Structure 1
Amino acid sequence: MSRAIRRNSLTEQATDALLDYIAERQLGEGDSLPPTGELAATFEVSVPVIREAIAALSGIGLLRRQQGRESVVAAPGATHLSRLLTLRVAHAAVEDDAIQQYREVVEVGSARLAASNRSEESLRELDDALADLRAVADDESLHAADIAFHAALARASGNDLFVLTIDALQPLLHRLRRRVWSGWVNSGGDLTSIVEAHATILERVRERDADGAARAMTDHLAQARLGLDVLSGHVGDSPARD
């Protein structure tokens, strides 16, 4: 059976070549690339192709173009990743259940690492986040405080990938939290039990109890799972949870 062979465009090849160039030379944030003419000669393509490749990498935050000067290497932040993930999720019709599964894997690991790696500064940030959570006055402030607590926990983990991905997923997680909260309230759940679940996570982190922090996060996410199942009408299909 014959199979079609897809050929990448010159721009795509030049984009990949630029990424390899940056990696091979270990260029970091703020380092300049050679002029476009020099890059074009290096990769044996036209200057317009190099400009298109630079534009593509600038669009995803890996390069920063400067008027009249060479482009410089940039470090894409959570905003760039958030845009990509939001578009990807919308295009692929990713359901809330998949986002919840992500939380159940990543945030348990984040809590475990936070207990092992937390500093006094990160504990103060978590204390402040918990205080904000205790003081919420409405649903929107609840969701904002909840997101802030989990983001602080990711920073306490010391793992930049946790921080980046959790920050980038905030718009999607905010949407999920609104649905989960609605289901949680419909199931008879209240704010006090949610706040205390966060307090338990923080105490396990404070005590450097990695296993305990992971269990506390698992228990908290079971609250979120129940809320989601109630809203989806799948409570009877879900295994019993303690």
Structure 2
Amino acid sequence: MPELNRVNGGTSTPILGRKVLRPRQQVEDALRKAVLDGQLRTGDRLPAETELARQFSVSRPTIREALSALESQGLIRKVPGAGGGSFVQAVDHTALGQVVQESMHNLLRLGSISFDEVAIVRQYLEVPAATLAATNRTDEDLEELQELLAEQKRRTVDDPMVAELDAQFHISIARMSGNRILAALVYALHRESEPVSYLDLSPEVGRDTFAQHRHIVAAIAEQDPGAAEAAITEHLTYLRGRIRKHISNQDAATV
């Protein structure tokens, strides 16, 4: 039964109008629904643009616009070359982290947000991640952290792997929290801000950060959330202070 609308005099008239979507929006909505409903599954290749244009009775540019929108939302990925095409992306917490990271990257490059804003939010998220990791970690998780510590100890501060090992350390702790959304957000924030890249990595800073990592692992090993919170807070506060100092020195040098 159509919805009724009261007008002057109490007369009821049916509301027949509905928002008319542009062809691109209709195509985008239909394809999104197919992915979210499971009609298209992870890894499936979508029909070619010409076939989609035929099925939807729209132009190929309209199809391209719809596919680009879906790609920006992390629902599909485009693979160029022979055998390529548009494929359904995994819609999970890892995909969420990648989409958030891409958006963060664009905002940082445009100057819409600052590194310090990202660092503060990362701290707000990494603290509860560490406390949850202390509660939920498994023996395998602890072994992974200890292996990362051992690898960090073997590297000198000028080793190109230092930044990657640091990212693995923080992202692994977030994953051990057991909260996949939290892990995805920490992944995005840490990967994009890459705090080690903003540090003046002197041997002193290398020793300090390694010692702080060791304290974090010790707290998680003891399954002590309070100690984990204190250790990760000390570490992240130290990093922010050193990064601010390094950026200030760089700014002064360019004046």
The question of whether the paired residues in 2 share the 8 Å contact of 1:108 and 1:214 is answered with yes
Question: Structure 1, residues 159-194: CA drift from partner, whole Å, max 9, x if none?
Answer: 3334333333455322x3232x32x86xx9543222
For the residues of structure 2 that align with 1:115 and 1:211, how far apart are their CA atoms? 9
Question: Structure 1, residues 123-170: CA drift from partner, whole Å, max 9, x if none?
Answer: 111111111222221234433322221122122222333433333345
From 154, 160, 173, give the equivalent of 1:153.
Answer: 173
TM-score using structure 2 length: 0.69
- After the TM superposition, which segments of 4 or more aligned residues of structure 1 sit over 4 Å from their partners? 24-28, 31-35, 64-72, 78-81
The question of whether the paired residues in 2 share the 8 Å contact of 1:65 and 1:72 is answered with yes
Q: Which amino acid aligns with 1:121?
A: E
For the residues of structure 2 that align with 1:195 and 1:164, how far apart are their CA atoms? 24
1:110 aligns with 2:121: no
Tell me, which stretches of 5 or more residues in structure 1 are unaligned? 1-6, 235-242
The question of whether the paired residues in 2 share the 8 Å contact of 1:200 and 1:216 is answered with yes
Question: Which residue in 2 is equivalent to 1:126?
Answer: 145
From 231, 235, 239, give the equivalent of 1:220.
Answer: 235
TM-score using structure 1 length: 0.72
Q: 1:69 to 1:203 in 2, by over 3 A?
A: closer
Name the % identity.
27
Q: 1:31 to 1:190 in 2, by over 3 A?
A: closer
From 146, 150, 155, give the equivalent of 1:136.
Answer: 155
For the residues of structure 2 that align with 1:68 and 1:191, how far apart are their CA atoms? 46
For the residues of structure 1 that align with 2:192 and 2:78, how far apart are their CA atoms? 30
Question: Structure 1, residues 43-89: CA drift from partner, whole Å, max 9, x if none?
Answer: xx626334541343246541256989996532163555433321222
Aligned residue pairs total 219
Q: 1:8 to 1:138 in 2, by over 3 A?
A: farther
Question: Which residue in 2 is equivalent to 1:177?
Answer: 196
Pairwise mapping of residues 1-242 of structure 1 onto structure 2 (< 5 A)? 9-24=22-37, 28-30=41-43, 36=52, 40=56, 46=58, 48=60, 49-50=62-63, 52-58=65-71, 61-64=74-77, 73-75=88-90, 77=95, 78-79=97-98, 81-139=100-158, 140-174=160-194, 176-179=195-198, 181-182=199-200, 190-231=205-246
Q: Which amino acid aligns with 1:212?
A: A
Q: 1:26 to 1:113 in 2, by over 3 A?
A: farther
Aligned-pair Cα RMSD in Å:
3.6
Q: Secondary structure at the match of 2:156?
A: coil
Q: Secondary structure at the match of 1:227?
A: helix
For the residues of structure 2 that align with 1:25 and 1:62, how far apart are their CA atoms? 12
Tell me, which stretches of 5 or more residues in structure 2 are unaligned? 1-19, 250-255
